[in-house]
Structure 1
Amino acid sequence: MLIDILAAAGDAAPQNQFGFIEAMEQGGVIAWTIFGVLVIMSVGSFYILITKLLEQNKIFRQYREVRSTFWRAPSLREGANKLDRDSAWRQLVDDGLAAEAQHGKLTDQLEAHDWLHGSLARSEAAINSKLAGGLSFLATVGATAPFVGLLGTVIGIYRALINIGLAGSASIDKVAGPVGEALIMTAIGLLVAVPAVLAYNWLQSRNKRIAELLSGFSTDLLANITSRGTIRPEVAATTTKAAPAKPAAAPVKPGPVATPKPVTKP
């Protein structure tokens, strides 16, 4: 009899479920909206990271081709034809050659060096601007994601206080759900912000390296065009491999020394 009463009491007691889904369901539309915003931020951050990383790796790979094949061509036009059409380095060469051709059409007296330098600098700025595209989104996510998660935290704590006031007591079944939701939102906000900040700093450092390479290549182009092909980078000056050194001749062993015969007097 006692066992039946305890079993019936256990069946009648409310069963409280605690977990991520339960906490989000208690949060309602606001909690799901904040969670959706954080998911969009995270997906966008990883998409930008992957696409920009592939783009940067492509530029670095093309730079190795420039160092190995471009400067060994007889002319800039022939060297440009060896590069990919969508290459940033091909764009610089084409813009430099176009600026050289346009200089003769100018009515005002302008030095070729200034005109070419300005054209190449404009081409560099366009390439760097394209590489920097999307990084502002990473910076925005890294700066705002913790505050978006904090908004969910504030709303969860506010709901917990309301439940305490309505129940008249701070029992765990009234507080655990909203507080759990609040902690989950804080954790998600940090998980979204930290990778975005790391990706932004990493991609920025790689973009600075690419900008340095572009600037050096632009300087070499300017010198080559204004010198009519006389000046070329030193790395491409030698196209043949150095001949292997001849082995040293073996030392000559000294032969037996002949001893002079004694001279006898008559």
Structure 2
Amino acid sequence: MNDTPSLGFAHFISQTDGLGKALFIILVLMSLATWYLIVVKAIAGMRTRRASDKFVQHFWNATSLEAVDREITTHGVNDPFSHLTSHAIYARRHHAQYGVSKLEEAGSQTDFVTRTMRKVIDEETAKLENGLSILASVGSTAPFVGLFGTVWGVYHALVAIGQGGGATIDRIAGPVGEALIMTGLGLAVAIPAVLAYNYFVRSNRVLLARLDAFAHDLFAFLTTGQQVVNDGNIRSLKTPKPPVQN
């Protein structure tokens, strides 16, 4: 039988010291956090885009703002576009009924609606960017954590050479293997984080650009009640006629 000990991954991890194990655990935790965010944000982004497309289509096919408001009341706010529309409609109605009762409502109805819509867009931006700082941090620091482990493994190899008086394979295989493993782990953790960060940033930028364009159309309709020209197509909602005063 061959009694030669295996020099696999588990062997190198078992031979490292406390600092090496700590660096390995840090990289594993970084990887788990990265893949958790990738899965969660990918699923959430897919649901958000699907709900947004459905609401925007319903909005421009609605007969009135009241119909849109009833749709939001029935199905709730499930995407940034319905969130923006709900608050904008409420802001216009609230200012028309109660006027200015506190500082945040100061100014004309147009000013109040503008501030409300800007606040909602800021909230949606913050929600979309949630978790991106973790991906950016992992992508930028994981290679250096792995590099630190590499330096530590090379240091152990040099110590083994110095103590043994010669650079034999059995003395340096463990430390050099540890160094190479740490380098590979650092890259394996950083690359998915960087790619995911770039993808989510671009996806968020596209969605926010659509939301901003929709906000301009919605604001124009809420403040003027006139048709909105978008992408060469005339879109309009019917506004209810005011009651006749006797």
Choose which of 10, 17, 24 in structure 2 pairs with 1:28. Answer: 17
Describe the superposition over 1:180-236 as per-residue Cα deviations: whole angstroms up to 9, x where unpaired. 110000001001001100100110000000111111111111111112x43345557
* Distance change in 2, residues 1:72/1:114 (3 Å): same
* Contact 2:217-2:228 at 8 Å conserved across structures: yes
Matched, 1:155 2:144: no
Are 1:141 and 2:144 an aligned pair? no
Cα 1:113–1:24, aligned 2, differ >3 Å: closer, same or farther?
Answer: same
- RMSD over aligned Cα atoms: 2.3
Deviation at 1:36, TM superposition (A): 1.3
Give TM-score, length-normalised by structure 1: 0.78
Distance, in Å, in 2 between the alignment partners of 1:131 and 1:109 is 29
| Closer, same or farther: CA 109–148 of 1 in aligned 2, 3 Å | closer
Stretches of structure 1 that go unaligned for 5 or more consecutive residues are 1-9, 240-266
Aligned residues: 227
The match for 1:205 is: 202
- Residue of structure 2 in register with 1:82 after alignment: 71
Q: Distance in 1 between matches of 2:171 and 2:150?
A: 16
The whole-number CA distance in structure 1 between the counterparts of 2:60 and 2:107 is 28
Q: Which residue of 2 aligns with 1:174?
A: 171
Q: Superposition pairs for residues 8-87 of structure 1, below 5 Å?
A: 15-83=4-72, 84-85=75-76, 86-87=78-79
CA distance in 1, matches of 2:235, 2:90: 25
Superposed displacement of residue 136, structure 1: 0.3
Asked whether the equivalents of residues 227 and 236 of structure 2 are also in contact (C-alpha less than 8 Å), the reply is no
What residue ranges of structure 2 are gaps of 5+ in the alignment?
Answer: 238-246
Which segment is superposed worse, 109-118 or 169-178?
109-118
Change (3 A) 1:130 1:191: same
Answer whether contact 2:55 2:82 (CA < 8 A) is retained. no
Preserved contact between residue 155 and residue 182 of structure 1 (Cα < 8 Å): yes
Identical counterparts, % of pairs: 35
Q: Which residue of 2 aligns with 1:106?
A: 100
More helix as a share of residues: 2
Task: State the 1:237 CA deviation.
Answer: 4.0
Structure 1 residues 170 and 53 mapped into 2: Cα distance closer, same or farther (>3 Å)?
same
**SS at 2:16 equivalent:** helix
Write the letter of the residue equivalent to 1:56: G
Structure 2 residue aligned with 1:252 = none
Amino acid at match of 1:76: L
- What corresponds to 1:221 in structure 2? 218
- Answering whether residue 227 of structure 2 is matched by residue 231 of structure 1, we say yes
Counterpart AA for 1:92: L
Aligned partners of 2:226 and 2:236 also within 8 Å: no
Larger Rg belongs to: 1
Q: Please list the CA deviations of residues 4-44 of structure 1 after superposition, one character each: whole Å capped at 9, or x if unmatched.
A: xxxxxx99xx9453221111111032222211111111111
The offset of 1:133, in angstroms, is: 0.1
Give the structure-2-normalised TM-score. Answer: 0.84
Give the partner amino acid of 1:106. V
